[in-house]
A and B are shown apart, each in its own frame.
Chain A
């Protein structure tokens, strides 16, 4: 069965520190992988995506993620966190980028302290 696991429910980091949010997936086919960010009371914004090619992908707001097939992981990273990065982050996996087989992880809530 398809699933997405985000092991960390909540993470707190200091402003300026580095960040890594973990995402592991279980998928029977070649996955399409996404990271979305949700600010309080808002919809979701796409940070980055991986379909194929270079396994290190760059996204908006200085985020990057690395696809590791051997580990079934797609961890999100940022070298220096800003206070405005505080939000909920969702990892998602899909069979394609247009189909309805699209699964979200449970999310990781990020708190940034001064």
Chain B
């Protein structure tokens, strides 16, 4: 079946630094990928829609200058958390649709801890 690979699974960084998270579709092409954020004990909130070859679309309240999204190819989208703060610590998950009859395929998530 369709697989979305997300890397790294866990990352710890210092305040003020930047962290890049990668999301890859392994066996299908994805012109669109989605980035979600999940706080502890809460649901997933869509942050942005990543579009191959064009600018990402951000949800209301999400700082586009802080969460940089690049969709470099049909199989890779990256989310860069810039100038990270402890309040950015969260679980970030990407998803894509394989183009068939199933729902979205999700990556395994990235646990970001900013210290």
Contact = CB atoms under 8 A, between A and B. Distances in A.
Contacts of A94: 103
B109 A102 contact: no
Contacts of B75: none
Contacts of A44: 44, 93, 95, 106
Secondary structure of the A side of the interface?
strand
Interface residues of B, number: 25
Q: How large is the interface on A (under 10, 10 to 19, 20 to 34, 35 or more residues)?
A: 20 to 34
Contact of A46 (B42, B45, B103, B111): B103
A109 B40 CA distance: 12
Given A44-B93, A49-B103, A51-B101, 7 more contacts: A43-B106, A43-B107, A44-B106, A46-B102, A98-B99, A100-B34, A102-B34
